[in-house]
Amino acid sequence: MIPFNKPYLTGKETKYIEEAVATGKISGNGLFTQKCQQFFEDTYGFKKVLLTTSCTDALEMCAILADINAGDEIIVPSYTFVSSALPFVRQNAHIVFADSYPDNPNIDANTIENLVTEKTKAIVVVHYAGIACDMEKILEIAEKYNLIVIEDAAQAIDSFYTFKDGTKKALGSIGHLGAFSFHETKNIIAGEGGMLTINDEKFINRAEIIWEKGTNRSMFFRGEINKYGWVDTGSSFLPSEIISAFLWAQLENINPIQEKRLAIWNRYFEGLKDCKNITLPVIPDYATNNAHMFYIVCKDLDSRTALIKKLKENDVLAVFHYLSLHKSEFYTQKHKNGALHNSDHFEECLLRLPFYFELTEAQQQKIINTINEF
Amino acid sequence: MIPFNKPYLTGKETKYIEEAVATGKISGNGLFTQKCQQFFEDTYGFKKVLLTTSCTDALEMCAILADINAGDEIIVPSYTFVSSALPFVRQNAHIVFADSYPDNPNIDANTIENLVTEKTKAIVVVHYAGIACDMEKILEIAEKYNLIVIEDAAQAIDSFYTFKDGTKKALGSIGHLGAFSFHETKNIIAGEGGMLTINDEKFINRAEIIWEKGTNRSMFFRGEINKYGWVDTGSSFLPSEIISAFLWAQLENINPIQEKRLAIWNRYFEGLKDCKNITLPVIPDYATNNAHMFYIVCKDLDSRTALIKKLKENDVLAVFHYLSLHKSEFYTQKHKNGALHNSDHFEECLLRLPFYFELTEAQQQKIINTINEF
């Protein structure tokens, strides 16, 4: 059986975990956490990075920092993982779901302005498959209505957006705040894990406090105050050094990992580009491809179901992706702005193919052949 | 320098992490998570256990399960870590702080009934140093006023309470819900980590949903439903299998760990029992001792400050503990029920001595001698 995903070990993960234990400190915010954070800030131009236990937790920090409360409205695409919306639900906000483009699962930037009301406080954009949303257009709307832009960059490590003036910025460094995932299915993994990126400096001090259970412990350790105490809301958002040490081994290998994944992505694209019954991913001119996943879009639900079955018969595990959140059991009664046809289309027709570092050319050729025969 | 804490490795942690990676699944709720959960349920009689990324997160699950909302009041001891109160603050509840006993940092059960109002929804008890609170009295009050009892058992693994009829129950198995920590300073560690224990069956189904980001994914994997979706609030509370694999290596050694720690505790007690200027911990008849920490209580703040200094001059790192939460910057304006003298007493006078598996007899004797000379 060719699995859908297989976590990749670079070989140094356990060595670094042993090093972390040898330091005498394996709780959060130790040496490996700081090394990882520094790496991300230096490599991608985030103003400040804080590792978290998950991307969900990073988005909870965004929701607290953006001061989201009951009565606020947050614009979120419907075709996304539940975690893009959930942290704002925990703050008692109302989620206003937006549609995707017809040919791209990302939030359709042209539909956003119509969803803005006096209660709108933030826009959450999700860079689906690591492909950038139309950030320039989204930033314009946000500026016009004074909204906070939160990038759900769960899948978008090492991916970029190019502005009309030629400026190229890493995803997660463009909105006020961003969130990444190191879940086992991502390019760079830690089993479960994530990070918050802060690009608007005004959020940095409070973020450190919220991260450390509402205490000013970080300031204490920098010698800025004499003793630390409870000063704000927050949670235990910081991961164990065991997780950060594991992540560091991955980061040291981010370039070979990305090269290999891009080769896999390109082989899929070349191998399937003449297939009549499916549509392949579209990468807009402003976006780069970080080879997070390879998906195809089938003609309809029946066709996808049949293809999943055929692949399974050939020992290949391909999986569909999100169910439109606006039609979920939890939100269907609360959703007020009508049908979101493009989101529903991707719910019914999008299919993710096996994608992992150790996928061999032979395995990939078998998958490509099976789809072409279909 | 004798450090205050040193994380102990049993030797199999990295082996099990490698095993976890080899299974192809290192995200949450994998084989090691399930093994750890089963171990805790079988060994300590919890009805259901869910591992979490921290004790704070386990308490957030308690706060959601107990349906805590704005307007609710929660009774919490003031002499505790901020995480005992913070999850209820995130649910917008008001915290009513209770005092400690004069001779024991635990919540004074005799003071609780006076704090109950029509708005009171739950009592959070904290088993300080792993020593049981007076659970029988607390359960009586909770039953009388229909309150939920949440055990903050962060420090209380492998510790027990004996009821008047002779029934002996593990801490964390007595209240409706309980929360444990596997922070690096605890008896059993995972760097950062925790678990929720559920003793009232009515909470189990919802807990599994909240744990998995508000989705019914657990039911899906058990084959109880055909596809999973968003049905409730929640977060990403479940830890990476890397953490659970690490934890499993610790659990396999819980008995030798506990024996060693008890020997250390007893040596401190014997070595310091004739020291006139300090008070030693009191263990009530209904409680067992899990040797989580060894603390002494000095006569006053000046005496403690001088002792910390003397120990430091002798290369020993001893640390004080909590600042009373009711006087914290975050809560001092919100706190309405007066002075809590016993909490303040422990804030000023309690001192924790170095305590870890690899503390040698020679090191311990040096610490004991330094204190006796003082």
Return the pLDDT at B15: 93
Q: Distance between CA B286 and CA B288 in Å, rounded? A: 7
Chain B partners of A85 at a C-beta cutoff of 8 Å? 230
ipTM: 0.97
Return the pLDDT at B339: 97
Average pLDDT over residues A103-112: 98
Q: Where does the pLDDT of residue A224 fall: very low under 50, low under 70, confident under 90, or very high at 90 and above?
A: confident
Q: Does pLDDT of A193 surpass 90?
A: yes
Residue with tokens 């929360």: B179
From chain A residues 231-290, the ones with a CB under 8 A of any chain B CB are 231-236, 238-243, 246
- The amino acid sitting at B93 is A
CB atoms within 10 A of CB A121: 21
Average pLDDT over residues B284-306: 98
Q: Does pLDDT of B224 surpass 90?
A: no
Chain B partners of A83 at a C-beta cutoff of 8 Å? 213, 236
Q: Give the mean pLDDT of chain B.
A: 97
B192 and A82 in contact by Cβ < 8 A? no
Tokens representing A270 are 């070349």
Per-position DSSP letters for A24-35, written without gaps between them: T--SSSSHHHHH
Chain A partners of B330 at a C-beta cutoff of 8 Å? 214, 229-232
Question: Are the beta carbons of B32 and B241 closer than 8 angstroms?
Answer: yes
Angle at A83 between CA A77 and CA A86, to 5 degrees: 90
For residue B284, the distance in angstroms to the closest alpha carbon of chain A comes to 30
Chain B partners of A18 at a C-beta cutoff of 8 Å? 9, 14
For chain B, percent of residues with pLDDT exceeding 70: 100
B182: left (phi over 0), alpha (psi -120 to 50) or beta: alpha
- Whether B190 has its CB under 8 Å from any CB of chain A: the answer is yes
For residue B175, the distance in angstroms to the closest alpha carbon of chain A comes to 23
A192 and B323 in contact by Cβ < 8 A? no
CA B111 from chain center: how many Å?
A: 22
A27 and B184 in contact by Cβ < 8 A? yes
In 3D space, the residue among A65, A59, A61 whose CA is nearest the CA of residue A211 turns out to be A61
Selecting from B190, B242, B329 the residue whose C-beta is nearest the C-beta of A229 gives B329
Average pLDDT over residues A148-156: 98
Strands A350-352, A295-298: parallel, antiparallel or unpaired by DSSP? antiparallel
From chain B residues 65-94, the ones with a CB under 8 A of any chain A CB are 81-83, 85-87, 89-90
Half-sphere exposure of B180 (CA within 13 A, CB side): 28
Average pLDDT over residues B4-9: 93
In 3D space, the residue among A67, A35, A43, A251 whose CA is nearest the CA of residue A150 turns out to be A67
For residue B225, the distance in angstroms to the closest alpha carbon of chain A comes to 14
Selecting from B14, B184, B236 the residue whose C-beta is nearest the C-beta of A25 gives B184
Q: Does pLDDT of B228 surpass 90?
A: no
Q: Which residues pair with B230 in a beta bridge?
A: B215
Q: Where does the pLDDT of residue A228 fall: very low under 50, low under 70, confident under 90, or very high at 90 and above?
A: confident
In 3D space, the residue among B170, B168, B229 whose CA is nearest the CA of residue B40 turns out to be B170
Domains of chain A: 13-251 (3.40.640.10), 254-373 (3.90.1150.10)
Q: Distance between CA A117 and CA A147 in Å, rounded? A: 11
Q: Does pLDDT of B261 surpass 90?
A: yes
Q: Where does the pLDDT of residue A22 fall: very low under 50, low under 70, confident under 90, or very high at 90 and above?
A: confident
Q: Where are the alpha helices (DSSP H) in chain B?
A: 13-22, 31-44, 55-65, 86-90, 135-145, 204-211, 217-221, 241-251, 254-272, 301-313, 341-349, 361-373
- Whether B332 has its CB under 8 Å from any CB of chain A: the answer is no
In 3D space, the residue among A157, A160, A159, A161 whose CA is nearest the CA of residue A188 turns out to be A157
Chain A partners of B233 at a C-beta cutoff of 8 Å? 86, 89-90
Tokens representing A150 are 């939160």
Per-position DSSP letters for A276-315, written without gaps between them: TTEE-----TTB-------EEEESSHHHHHHHHHHHHHTT
Optimal mutation site among B14, B59, B152, B230, interface A, most CBs of chain A within 10 A: B230
Q: Burial-class residue A264 by CB neighbours within 10 Å (0-12, 13-18, 19+).
A: buried
For residue A328, the distance in angstroms to the closest alpha carbon of chain B comes to 6
Q: Where does the pLDDT of residue A221 fall: very low under 50, low under 70, confident under 90, or very high at 90 and above?
A: confident
Tokens representing B253 are 């050694």
Question: Are the beta carbons of B120 and B95 closer than 8 angstroms?
Answer: no
Residue with tokens 């392949």: A280
Return the pLDDT at B219: 87
Chain A partners of B5 at a C-beta cutoff of 8 Å? 24
Q: Where does the pLDDT of residue B225 fall: very low under 50, low under 70, confident under 90, or very high at 90 and above?
A: confident
Q: Does pLDDT of B222 surpass 90?
A: no
CB pairs under 8 A between A and B: 184
For residue B322, the distance in angstroms to the closest alpha carbon of chain A comes to 9
Tokens representing A232 are 């704000």
Average pLDDT over residues B304-323: 95
